[in-house]
Structure formats: C-alpha cells, structure tokens
Chain A
Amino acid sequence: MSEAALQPTGAGPLAGVEERQAGAAISPRRLMWLRFRRHRLALASGAFLLVLYVLAAFCEFVAPYGTTTRNDDAVNAPPMRVHFFDADGRFHARPFVYAYRMEVNPDTWMREYTEDTGRPFPIRFFARGEPYEMWNLFRMDRHLFTTDAGAYIHLFGTDPLGRDMFSRVLYGGRISLSIGIVGVVLTIVLGILLGGIAGYLGGLADRVVNKAIEVLQCLPSLPLWMALSAALPVHWSPLLVYFGITIILSLFGWTALARQVRGRFLALREEEFVMAARLIGADTPRVIRKHMLPSFSSHIIATATLAVPAMILGETALSFLGIGLRPPVVSWGVLMFQAQNPLVIELTPWQMFPGLFVVLTVMAFNLLGDGLRDAADPYSTGGMK
C-alpha cells in the first residue's frame, strides 16, 4: 500500500492509524496545523472565538454588573466613552468615565444624556464590586473592571430599564454560545450514531435512516421549531426551556452530518486497512472505534464547526420571535427581541449590539470551519496554491 493509493479515497490523514508509513517526514497532524496556519482568516477567527468563549465562561467576573441590576439614573443611556484626558486636557494614567447628566427634553420627550465633567468615575481593575456567584459555586465580588461604590460604568449603554448592555451582552453570549456547542454535541452524537448505523449496516437500516433524513430535510425548519417551542410547557423553568430549545434545534440539525458519516462509512468499509483489521479478528465496535472513526474525525470537527452558527442563529431566531428563551434568561436572541422596534434603530441604536455579536460570531465560525475543512484534507490543494 503506497501513499499514492490512499489519496483518491479522500480519506484524509490517517491520524491514529498505528502503522505509520515509512519515510513520511511530517505527521498528518502537523501537516494539518501547517495548512490551517496558512489560512490567516481562520486563524484570526479562531482566536476571536476563543476570546469570546473565555469572556462568556467568565462573564460574572468580566461583567461589572448582573443581568437584572438596574441603574435608575441611566434609562436608555448611550455608551460611555473611556477617557484618559479630562475636560481640562490633563492626562490620567487611570482611565475614567464621566457620570451621565440626564434631562428629559420637554419638546422631544427624549432622555438626553451628556457627560457630567464634574463627576469622573475612575475605572478600577480587579476591584471589589457587585457580589456574584461564580458558576453558581463561589461567592465573589472581584470584577475585571468596575467603579467605586455609587459610581457606574456602561460601556455599551443601557436598556429601557437601566440595565447595563455590556454585562447583558456577555451573559447573553454565555447562553447563545453554549447553546451552539451543546446543540452541536447532541447533533454529533445523533449524526454519528444514525449515520454510522446506516453506513455500516447498510440494507434496511440504511434505507430507513435515509428516508428519515430526506423527510426531515424537506420540512421547513423555522415553522417546525416554532411549533415545537410553542409546545414547551409554560411553567418550565428557564433552564428546562434552555435544554428544550437545544434539543429542538439539534433534532433537525443532525441530518447533514449523518449523511456525511454514512458516506464515509460506506467508503471506508471497503478499504484495505479495515478489511485487514477485520481479518485479524477485530470485532465491529473496535473496527469502528479504532480504525474508521479516527480516519474521518477531522471532517466531523470541520462539519461540526460549520453547524455551530446554525444553532446560534436558530436560538436567536426563536428568541427573536419571542418563542425561544424568555426573560429573565438573557441570550443574544432575547436581547434582540427586546430591541426589535423602530424606536431602537432611531433613538437607542446601541441596544442592537447583541445583533453585531451574533453577526461576528457566525462569521467567525464560518471562516474557522472553512479553514478547518481545508486543513482536514492536508493532501488536497483545497483551492489553495
């Protein structure tokens, strides 16, 4: 068996295959990394997502406030500017923001905010602020940045109830980003299980699964999501609703992955190394686990990465329509639901920040997925010179 013989199957790198080819100077893993590194956008997207996920994971610490904390002095207030120079042009090493000065304009009925240059609020890093429970486990009150008691900071402005948009976007990110991952994990499990059964067993099982996939792919997904999420009982707690929505989303998301897995199985089943393993006496689970899965795991990862944005968009769409997650749960979809009116576009555009984050995240995931897909097949040119 030669290197060349492997290529046409498109089976990708034989990572995990124990019998290494003599003379292969670079391992497939290393080859993938090299290939991936050349995809600058994918690399940058990956870094961006990493930062986002870290922020979301530690949002209690990063966000200066909780999701329900109201600042009664700042209703629909615009984002604050961080200053180093004060009104007199003097430089301060410690950045600061100015307090809001609010007036309701009697003619326009608008809350007009200006900076009160007489009241600077210095920004304190790693200082004590609003107490919180880190991951519902540890009671803490240190924040990445906060202000002194009595002062406030709203980097992204506030919503109609005076809640800090920056904090809400972070907390919303935790829900929206994790729904993507949790949903995709479920998708992968379903996809590999059903696709594997279909591909490995073939015959009747294959036909049943394939028909099921075809039927599911025929159904318009949004109305179905809507119907299913409307069926979630009213009295469910937000956490249950969260899992309900995740399951609903992945119930329809597994089909594409299952098809790919099935195709891979069909192709690999006939490969010599699989045959060899079987002849040596390996049983079916071992063949699948040790020989088949590793040979296309990189593809699964790439496909899964591309499926994450669909999950995030799904959650956002449902919540935006008011039938997904509900307050007090904060997700980007919920935040966008609250911002869906002409008033926001015209008067308080900063309340659309969550939308921006959804766009950036989805774009980053797509670019990352692209990069991964190319890298997963390091022996092909993948459209790159």
Chain B
Amino acid sequence: MLTRSPRSRHHGCRSFPEGTRLKVLALGKSRQGLAVVAAVAALFAASATGQPPEREFPDAWYEPPKTASEVGLTSFSQSPFLDGRGLPPVEERLPDDPVVIQPYDSIGKYGGKARITLWDSWQFFNWEHALTLSADMRNVLPNLAESWSLSEDGRVTTVKLRAGLRWSDGHPLTADDFMFRLNHVFLDPDFSPVTYRGVRGCEFVKIDDLTFQYVFPEPNPMFVNFFAQYGSHMLDPMHFFKQYHAAYRDKEELDALVEEEGFVSWMAMYRALRDWGNEDASKVPTVRAYKVVERTPTKLRLERNPYYFKIDPAGQQLPYIDEVDAIILLENSQMIAFQAATGQLDFAAFALKTQDIPLLKLGEAKGVNQVHVWRRLHISDVSIQPNYNFDDPKYRELLWGKGERRFIRALSHAIDREQMNEMIYFGRGVPSQVTAHPSSRWYEQRFAEAHARYDPDYARQLLDELELADVDGDGLREYPDGSKLTITFEFLDFETPKSITMELVRDYWREIGIDLRLKSVERRLQAERAQANKMQMTLWHADKVTDILFPLVPDWFYPHRTGWDIAMWNHWARYYQTDGRLGERPPDDVRELQGWGDALRMATTEADRTVAAKALLEAAAENLWTIGTVGQAPHPVVVSKRLRNVTPTGIWGWDNRWTLSYHPATWYFDESHED
C-alpha cells in the first residue's frame, strides 16, 4: 500500500549534530590500517591455497591447457566435412603442438549445423585470445600464447606464441599481427583520436616472429588481465587488413575503395570488416573456430575453420559442429525468447532474461529444449547512477553538498531488496550494493550489505534532515526552496530486468516522497545523452567487478572514464583523462579516489594492490557512488535437446566473456536423441 511521507517540516538550521555527521570518504582509516590490511591479505591468500575451491568443472579448465605432446597424442583426425576439399593434411594445418581441450562431459562427434542468433555469436564460438581465463575467474591461462611473463618493475609484458598457428586462410599467425593491431589501430591517431587508456604509452617490441613485448613507461602489471579478457581486440590479420589501412595502402587507391564500398572513411570500412558487418565478411581471416561463408542482411552463415588450433583428447580437431547459421534479429529479444522456448534455436542466452525462465521451461516440459540456469556475473543487475555533474545546482547540492551522503543513503534504504528478489528473481538472486564479486579476493560481505537495509522510516528521517519537505501536500517532497523535486530517469532497458526493477524502485521512492519519472530510451539516444551529460540519473548493470577487470576498469568506484553505460561523473572523469585540460576539477576527496585508482592499477605487489582495492571498495560502500539492488541473478541458457557438453551451471557476464572458459568448441550434436 502506498504510504504518504510524513508532513512534518523541518525548520532547523542547516548544520548537523556532530554525531550524525557522515564521512564523505573513509580513506583515512584504510591508510592507517595499511599494515593490518596487508597482513590480512597474506592470511587470506594462505587460506585460499589451503583449501582448494569447490570445482564444478573439469580440473583442466583451471590450469594451463595440455598440449598433444604432453598427453602423448601423435595422430590427429579431421571432420569428414573437410574431406576432399583439397586442403593440406590435418597434421599440417594444426600447430606444431596442438592444444588439447577437455570436454565437459563426453568426447563428441562431428557434424551438424547449429541455429543461433547473431546475439549469441560471441558466446557460441568465442574469440580466441592470446591468453584466456580460468574457469574460476581468478587466473590467466595461455591460449594462442604458449607462455608469458611480467618484468619485475611491472613495465614489460613478454608474450610467446605457439609455433605453427595459422589464420583461417592458412597464413601463419605471428607477432606482426599483434603489432599491427596495437600500432595501427590503438595507437593510430586517425583511427583512435583518443588513445584507449589500457594501452596508452605502450610500445611494441618484436623479439622474433613468435615473441614480443608490450613495454609501458609506467608500471602496468595488470596489463596481462586486459590482454586476456580484451584479447579479441589485440590482434588482427595484418596480411589481410594491410590492404585496408592508410599506413600500408596508397591514399588514392584506398579512398577510391572506400568510395566504392560506400563508407565514410577507411576507418569505418576497417571496423565494418572486422565486425563482419557487411558481405565482405567472408574474406576476413580469423583464428576463431568458425569463419564466415556468407553474410546477408538477415543471416550470417559460418563453417568450421580448417586451421583451428585445438583438439580433443582423442586427437580430433575441434570444433565438433561443422556449420553455424546465425540469424540476425536485432533489438528483438522477445522474438528470441519465443524461438528459444519453441526449440527453434540450438543455443540462446544473450538476449534472454530472468523473467523468461518459466516460458523457456515450458519448452523444456514439452521436450523441445533444455534450460540451464546460470548465474549472471553482475554484482547488481541494476546499478543506479545519480549524475554528480548534472547541470542543475540544486540537484548537485543534494547529491554532493552540505547534506553529504544523506540523500543517496535515503534512496538506498528505501529499496526493499528482499521483496525485489522475490518478485523479479524468484528469490534466487542476491541483494547487494555495487562492490567486488564474491569470487574476488577483495570481496567483503559488509561492502555488499552497506546501507542496503530496508528502512523507509530512516530514509524519511534523512530526507527530513535535508529539509526536503512536502510543501504543497501532494505526498512528494520539494527542494528546501519550495521548488519541485523530480528526478528524470532515462535508461536503456536491455540485458537485465531493468524496467521492472525501476518500476519497483519508483514505488519505493514514492513512499518516501521522491518523485521519479522513468523514461526508457533506445540505444543511440542513451549513448548521446549519457556522453552529453544530459542524464539526471540513469543505470547500467554492475559488471567489471571480478579480479580480472576490477583493477583495470573500476567503473563504479571512481571517475575515470565516460561512456554510454556510465554517466554519473563525466566532468570529473574528463578532467582525470585529460590531466586537467578538459572537464571540471573534482573535489579533493574524488582526486584522492582517483589516486587510489592509479595505485590499484600500478601496484606491483599484492599487498599494495590490496590496500588500494580495499580503499576503493570501502569508499564505495560508505558513500554509495551508485545504488545497488539485486545481483548474481539466475540467467537462462537455452540449448536444444541435441546439443551436448554445455555446462549446466556457469557464470554469465562480460568479465569472463560469457563462455570463454567453458570451451564452446567442444559442444556437439547427439542426433540419436532427436525425436
């Protein structure tokens, strides 16, 4: 039932009694406690090695993959699909010492054509990175690379590739392909006017064809995480893309080509090719398990890459499935849910939502599909972002003024996360503020629970203290000067159940007298308005919270970048990005936070890193830069009845690239069970 906020008006002066004063930042404490924290970290590390974590996946997925010579495999076989195509024998197409991948359940059989949607093309057959991630999201493992090392000062990352790797057109994969991507895409001033922060100042040093180094002017010990998680963006087939790049092609010729192909610039053409965006996609060599055969506006047809470098324990070249048809159903997740529920897709997950589970399970009951329920990685499915740099002095004063953190805390205490969990997540999510993922070594329960208690009375009290009273008697509070306080909340309703969550939040906030106006916007508008700092409040889901990405892109913990998914402190972030040339100088407390962010990224010892990480997490828990709701929610992964080796559980999210460590190349069709 809708309860009205109390009508009592608060006429006190604007100073707060000493006891209720809120700390803007809680950094002093962490600093004093440096030694203590380091000791705790050491203890934690010890206990972590003492008891091996519960393993739900094959042991091999937690360790560097074995090679054929290590397991004693000497003969290899290929799919009959490739027979009689005039290709070199499989032994020559595989690298010198192929990588052996342990399937989840059983050794598979060749054949079949998978039906998926384009949404799931990053999940059904992953990108192949030089390095990859372990199934517990804690370690980096070799993939295309055979090994890597980090110099003692943290500045130099050396990578050594496996010998004999080839692109899908048979061309050898070498250090040049990595060099090309870094020097001519990331560091090319035309291509990237603003250098991506992860590679700023980076220098590429080629030792030999297979060995190379990324050298940074400052310590960048976490580069290897970036290189593993973001690895798909770290190499391009140089021998192919040379002809589309201004550095290697005659300017006039290139311009003519751009014109002929109908692009605005060669960069746009390059990007389109790389993203398989037009019909030329079939020409682009790849190291992924499948290569494009045909691309039409409605469909992407793929077939197995004959030079794929992984084999199964029986010596069969992966992948098992020969062909993939990816239909292009853009922005229509309901259509996908329906197709998945009626068994028309072999794999669907990306566009599905928690609410779809009963519908999908209906398909399972009818015997047309299998529904696995994974857990989303997001620590919070909805992370509410108040815009601290919004162009309205009264609103800014509320978020970051004399009232300190009262307003945000009031908003947080007004949310009934338990009820939200029951109503939206079938009670199977985890209520949480935005903090590190439980798999992280820096996770602490108190961070997740900070100011998350449902206590509307306390919330009202905090708002009363801010002198936000209901002057005109409509049940909604006004600013202290009597003008209307409404919050316009624009958001992109995508991936997680954002709309229904916000409807609940709107009700909760109305109960404490805060008027929230929801407006769901489409993707382009979201990007535009977020970048232009026009959003009063918005949201995104809180991923990038695992040990892989948190140290690199702690988006929710201090202002360091802007983007369509983060619009809470654009000016402060821009100031930081441009060393004070643009944007607005943040308050000292925020400058300090940014310092901790730098420390986290550059720390070369585990102890230093832990201090910085805890400082950021502690500050976020204390101050609630963003408001968390419910996270680690059930995520449906629908597979057809014939698809095998898909894990029944898993973590679903960007940090671990969804299925990267669950080896989709080992998925296969068992047609014997087909009705």
Q: Contact between A342 and B334 (Cβ–Cβ < 8 Å)?
A: yes
Q: Contact between B500 and A346 (Cβ–Cβ < 8 Å)?
A: no
CB-contact partner of A346 in B362, B488, B504, under 8 A: B362
Contact with A along B339-363 (1 / 0, CB 8 A): 0010000000000000111110110
A242 to chain B: closest CB distance in Å?
14
Interface residues of A in 155-205 (CB under 8 A from B): 160-162
Contact with B along A279-309 (1 / 0, CB 8 A): 0000000000000000000000000000000
Q: How far is the CA of A176 from the CA of B534 in the complex (A)?
A: 32
Contact with A along B213-256 (1 / 0, CB 8 A): 00000000000000000000000000000000000000000000
Closest A-B pairs by Cβ, 7 of them: A342-B338, A110-B358, A109-B357, A108-B361, A341-B334, A343-B359, A109-B358
14 cross-chain CB contacts under 8 A: A66-B2, A68-B510, A69-B1, A72-B423, A108-B361, A109-B361, A160-B500, A235-B488, A322-B520, A326-B519, A341-B337, A342-B334, A342-B338, A346-B362
**Is B152 in the interface zone, CB < 8 Å from A?**
no
**Is A224 in the interface zone, CB < 8 Å from B?**
no
Please, which residue of chain A has its CB at the minimum distance from the CB of B338? A342
Q: Which residues of B contact A322 (CB under 8 A)?
A: 520
Q: How far is the CA of A104 from the CA of B426 in the complex (A)?
A: 8
**Is A107 in the interface zone, CB < 8 Å from B?**
yes
Known contacts A68-B2, A342-B341; decide if A108 and B358 are in contact (CB<8 Å): yes
**Is A70 in the interface zone, CB < 8 Å from B?**
yes
Interface size range of chain B in the complex: 20 to 34
Contact with A along B353-381 (1 / 0, CB 8 A): 00111110110110000000000000000
Q: Contact between B334 and A107 (Cβ–Cβ < 8 Å)?
A: no
Q: Contact between B334 and A108 (Cβ–Cβ < 8 Å)?
A: no
CB-contact partner of A161 in B365, B503, B520, under 8 A: B503
A283 to chain B: closest CB distance in Å?
49
By secondary structure, the A interface counts as loop
Q: How far is the CA of A328 from the CA of B505 in the complex (A)?
A: 12
Q: Which residues of B contact A346 (CB under 8 A)?
A: 341, 359, 362
Q: Contact between B362 and A347 (Cβ–Cβ < 8 Å)?
A: yes
Count CB-based A-B contacts (< 8 Å): 74
Q: How far is the CA of A328 from the CA of B2 in the complex (A)?
A: 13
Q: How far is the CA of A346 from the CA of B357 in the complex (A)?
A: 12
**Is B518 in the interface zone, CB < 8 Å from A?**
yes
Q: Contact between A235 and B517 (Cβ–Cβ < 8 Å)?
A: yes
Q: Which residues of B contact A109 (CB under 8 A)?
A: 357-358, 361, 426
5 new A-B contacts at CB < 8 Å, known A72-B419, A75-B423, A161-B423: A110-B361, A234-B490, A322-B520, A342-B338, A347-B359
**Is A327 in the interface zone, CB < 8 Å from B?**
yes
Please, which residue of chain B has its CB at the minimum distance from the CB of A233? B488
**Is A206 in the interface zone, CB < 8 Å from B?**
no
A172 to chain B: closest CB distance in Å?
16
Q: How far is the CA of A66 from the CA of B358 in the complex (A)?
A: 28
Contact with B along A224-262 (1 / 0, CB 8 A): 000000000011010000000000000000000000000
Q: Contact between A343 and B358 (Cβ–Cβ < 8 Å)?
A: yes
Q: How far is the CA of A94 from the CA of B226 in the complex (A)?
A: 69
Please, which residue of chain A has its CB at the minimum distance from the CB of B504? A161
Q: Which residues of B contact A161 (CB under 8 A)?
A: 423, 500, 503-504, 507
B669 to chain A: closest CB distance in Å?
25
Q: Contact between B423 and A343 (Cβ–Cβ < 8 Å)?
A: no
Q: How far is the CA of A110 from the CA of B334 in the complex (A)?
A: 18
Q: How far is the CA of A327 from the CA of B520 in the complex (A)?
A: 11
**Is A130 in the interface zone, CB < 8 Å from B?**
yes
Contact with B along A59-81 (1 / 0, CB 8 A): 00000001011101001000000
Contact with A along B483-516 (1 / 0, CB 8 A): 0001010100000000010011011001000000
Contact with B along A88-116 (1 / 0, CB 8 A): 00000000000000001001111100000
Q: How far is the CA of A322 from the CA of B493 in the complex (A)?
A: 12
B115 to chain A: closest CB distance in Å?
18
Q: How far is the CA of A104 from the CA of B355 in the complex (A)?
A: 13
Please, which residue of chain A has its CB at the minimum distance from the CB of B1? A69
Q: Which residues of A contact B1 (CB under 8 A)?
A: 69, 130
Q: Contact between A72 and B361 (Cβ–Cβ < 8 Å)?
A: no
A243 to chain B: closest CB distance in Å?
16
Q: Which residues of B contact A69 (CB under 8 A)?
A: 1-2
A164 to chain B: closest CB distance in Å?
12
B329 to chain A: closest CB distance in Å?
14
Interface residues of A in 301-360 (CB under 8 A from B): 322, 326-328, 340-343, 346-347
Q: Contact between B427 and A104 (Cβ–Cβ < 8 Å)?
A: yes
**Is B397 in the interface zone, CB < 8 Å from A?**
no
Known contacts A69-B2, A162-B423, A234-B490; decide if A108 and B362 are in contact (CB<8 Å): yes
Q: How far is the CA of A162 from the CA of B362 in the complex (A)?
A: 22
